[in-house]
Amino acid sequence: METSKHRSFFQDLKSREVNGFRVRKRPYNGNDSQKFDPIGAVAVEHEGEPSPPMALSFCKTNKNAHILALTDEGGYVTLFNTRHKFQDSSSFQENAEEAKVSGWAAHENAIFDICWIKEDTNILTASGDQSIKVWDTQEQKCVRALMGHTGSIKSISCHPTNQELVVSGSRDGAFALWDTRCCKNTHEKLCVPPTSIIHEAHTSPGRRRVRHGKAESMSITSVLYLNDEISIATAGAVDSLIKFWDTRHLKAPVTHACPNFDSSDKEKHLHGISSLSQDLNGVYITASCMDHRIYLYNVLQLEKGPIKTFSGGQTDSFFVKSAISPDAAHILSGSSDGKAYIWQVNKPSLDPITLESHDGEVTSVDWCPSEMGKVATCSDFTVRFWNIRSSCYSNTRSPSAIRKRIMAVPRNGKRKLFMDESSCTKSETNIKFSNVASSPITMPEVSTPDSQKKKFVYCFDAKETVHRTPEAEMESPSSVLNPPSSLKRKTIRDYFPGS
């Protein structure tokens, strides 16, 4: 797709919308017990050759959340408009052509993970060619290449507030931290080395001397940057363990979490984890385990193990992923039986909603962050879009939602806010209002207390320090990874002092 230099990338998408930004809901003729509407499906192919989809992700900003990025085994990135009105008479290939926004060849190998950053203007791709690339979505141009892993990169995650910082996990058994502002040298401005790299992060001591064919046992399958902005979580293929790390002290994990298995059954500990996900508030983490279960953890109660367990799906490969909804009310998962499943977090014992239409193993899944109930699933050579019916949400309250009661000021109290401390009679009040026209109105002087002024200035200076240019080409800004003691906040380390 060609875009004008005078218009932004997503402004051009508006002209391609059908019936404006709001697409009329399609009539639902199926069984009400299913609680979902299939929106449509698109084929994944290039020049007539089908390509298995690998990862997908909706845009993160509300105005662009209907745009879905898809990666495939051929190394392509394709953007689709999920608000396109899919016709029942159209084929998947026709749907793909009509809903396609743009696409380009990003790598010469499969792209296993994708991540939107910087208000959806850039996108990160993690590939089997052992590199991570940062793409300008408008120009479809690579602006950075993160090089340093020695195996296929399986997972990436960006810092919750400073999206120049990225964490990645690889099949080589290492996870790495990156700062995209730090280039290697003046001759290779696009090449970015890792600021930190931890080898054998999930390698079991008893499996370090396995033959090369067993390299997957040390693979890092998923990484997450947590909302405290300093901690990260990692999972691997060797066991069901989730490790939590403090980016300021990476010599050893701060703590870990795993299912509460019977100590006599050691085989259960050997099941790997295919994916991790967290809700928008960062309170909960889900782990999709190879024992065909999904475990839900509370970040501040990791010592208790999983607080809930969800079963019913089938996870036979590490390509099968799951994702918790942004409001932490539901969990969506692919499955090796050709179906996708949705559980209610507050009711794990209930049978999940089943999404049936795929022909093969359902792998990557994602929630639309702003259009409630819209999800995407992929399998074989197709991607399907679904609209979960509102009845699915009617009696569900988000576990991570925090409600506060705000008391209104009493009517008498309101009057006191605008009157002198001494009470006045009705006649005195009338006299005051009668003199308004003859005397000028003087408004009370409102100003910020000196103590508060100092606080505001201090916060401004701190922000400027965080975003300054790196002082050295090979080092990440110290103000980001090692903030002054006065700026340090509570992290996951503070909740586990004995770890």
Question: What is residue 189's predicted lDDT score, i.e. its pLDDT?
Answer: 66
Is 182 contained in some domain? Answer: yes
Distance, CA of 343 to CA of 312 (rounded, Å): 10
Half-sphere exposure of 485 (CA within 13 A, CB side): 0
Q: Which two tokens stand for residue 34?
A: 């299913």
Average pLDDT, consecutive stretches of 10 residues, N- to C-terminus, the chain (499 residues)? 41 40 35 65 93 96 95 97 90 95 96 96 97 96 95 97 96 96 69 94 63 64 96 95 95 92 60 96 96 96 94 95 96 96 94 91 95 93 86 52 46 43 41 38 46 38 35 43 50 57
**Structural domain includes residue 103:** yes
Of 79, 132, 136, 163, whose CA–CA distance to 376 is shortest? 79
- Residue 89 has a pLDDT of 83
CB of 479 closer than 8 Å to CB of 468: yes
Q: What pTM does this model have?
A: 0.74
Edge-to-edge strands, sheet with 100-105: 53-58, 67-72, 76-81, 100-105
Q: How many domains does the chain have?
A: 1
| Domain membership flag for residue 14 | no
Query: Residue 99: which domain range?
Result: 34-392
Token pair of 126 as six digits: 């993690």
CATH of the domain at 243: 2.130.10.10
Token code pair at residue 163: 């999206």
Is residue 413 domain-resident? no
In sequence order, what are the residues at sequence separation of 6 or more whose Cβ sits closer than 8 angstroms to the Cβ of residue 460?
none
Using CA atoms, how far apart are residues 370 and 386, in angstroms rounded to an integer? 14
Torsion angle (degrees, nearest 10) of CA 462, 60, 286, 282:
30
CB 89 within 8 A of CB 63: no
pLDDT given for residue 364 in this prediction: 97
Residue 9 lies in a domain: no
The Cα angle at residue 260 between residues 256 and 266, in degrees rounded to 5: 95
Beta bridge partners of 38: 386
Nearest CA-CA partner of 86 in 43, 118, 47, 123: 43
* Predicted pLDDT at 270: 76
Q: What pLDDT is attached to residue 12?
A: 44
User: Which residues are paired to 365 by β-bridges?
Assistant: 377
CB 465 within 8 A of CB 458: no
Contact 357, 38 (CB under 8 A): yes
Sheet holding 141-147, edge to edge: 111-117, 122-127, 131-136, 141-147, 191-192
The DSSP call for residue 469 is P
Token pair in block for residue 28: 């639902």
Residue 177 lies in a domain: yes
In-domain check, residue 409:
no
- Give backbone dihedrals phi and psi of 345, rounded to 5 degrees, phi first: -60, -40
How do beta strands 382-388 and 374-379 pair? antiparallel
pLDDT at 37: 82
| 432, containing H or E segment | helix 426-434
Cα–Cα separations (whole angstroms), residue 418 to 45, 397, 423, 427, 445: 69, 40, 12, 17, 13
The three-class DSSP label of residue 187 is: coil
Q: Half-sphere exposure (CA, 13 Å, Cβ side) for 155?
A: 28
Q: Is 230 exposed, middle or buried (0-12, 13-18, 19+ CB in 10 A)?
A: buried
Q: In the sheet that 382-388 helps form, which strands lie side by side, from edge to edge?
A: 36-43, 382-388, 374-379, 362-367
Does 416 map to a domain?
no
By the 8 A CB rule, do 239 and 272 touch? yes
Which residue type does 209 have?
Answer: R
Quote the pLDDT of residue 25.
35
268 φ/ψ angles, rounded to the nearest 5 degrees: -65, -25
What pLDDT sits at residue 427? 42
Max distance between CA atoms of the chain, in angstroms, equals: 97
